[in-house]
Chain A
Amino acid sequence: DAGVIQSPRHEVTEMGQEVTLRCKPISGHDYLFWYRQTMMRGLELLIYFNNNVPIDDSGMPEDRFSAKMPNASFSTLKIQPSEPRDSAVYFCASSMGQGMGEQFFGPGTRLTVL
């Protein structure tokens, strides 16, 4: 069974450009999480969805970031315009049920903004 799929795996872009990161959760999972990981700030939860509905976006750093989940098998995280300080590894994770605990992480997208 495929795990969480993220694309692209690596993205290099220039400041001011729009960046879209994609995630396909594990089939049957009803929770989807977006995280950002940097050396300075560690692992940060940006937003999470339950049944395609955003539940908590308090970790989204600013209005330049937006996330959508149009259906149960696809989510996007968009940064527009991108800035060098957005350079990080972005992870998507999914899980099943509330309070169940185990989140399954994708391999991450390494974003570099020049």
Chain B
Amino acid sequence: GNSVTQMEGPVTLSEEAFLTINCTYTATGYPSLFWYVQYPGEGLQLLLKATKADDKGSNKGFEATYRKETTSFHLEKGSVQVSDSAVYFCALLRSSASKIIFGSGTRLSIRP
């Protein structure tokens, strides 16, 4: 079946550190891949997406590249800020589907 596996948190980093949150997926066909972010007390919001192999999604300094050969979509940011503290969800959507499959979420805390 279709599933998403992401690294368990919490992840705690100092400000300006480099961030990687790993995500791998299992899916039939060629799904679209997403990273959603949930700030404290809010709903999820789309951070970035990639719809085909080798696509790179980017937003707010975050990047993720759709790697079909390794079935991965790792989230990276070169220099994190305190305001990046949130829960990050990796997700996939098959092209013919409407239901997004979310990972379990990774809580990120950034120390000043």
Contacts and interface: CB of A to CB of B under 8 A. Distances in A.
Interface string A12-36: 0000000000000000000101000
Category for how many chain B residues contact A: 20 to 34
B34 A43 contact: no
B102 interface: yes
A43 B102 contact: yes
Contact of B105 (A43, A91, A104, A107): A43
B95 interface: yes
B43 A31 contact: no
A43 B98 contact: no
B42 A107 contact: yes
Interface in A92-114: 93, 95, 98-99, 101-108
B43 A101 contact: no
Interface residues of A, number: 23
B89 A99 contact: no
A31 B98 contact: yes
Interface string A31-51: 101000000001101001010
Contacts of A43: 44, 89, 102, 104-105
A4 B44 CA distance: 12
B43 A98 contact: no
Interface of A: 4, 31, 33, 42-43, 45, 48, 50, 55-56, 91, 93, 95, 98-99, 101-108
Please provide the 6 A-B residue pairs with the shortest distance between their CB atoms, ordered closest to farther.
A105-B43, A105-B44, A42-B104, A102-B46, A99-B95, A98-B98
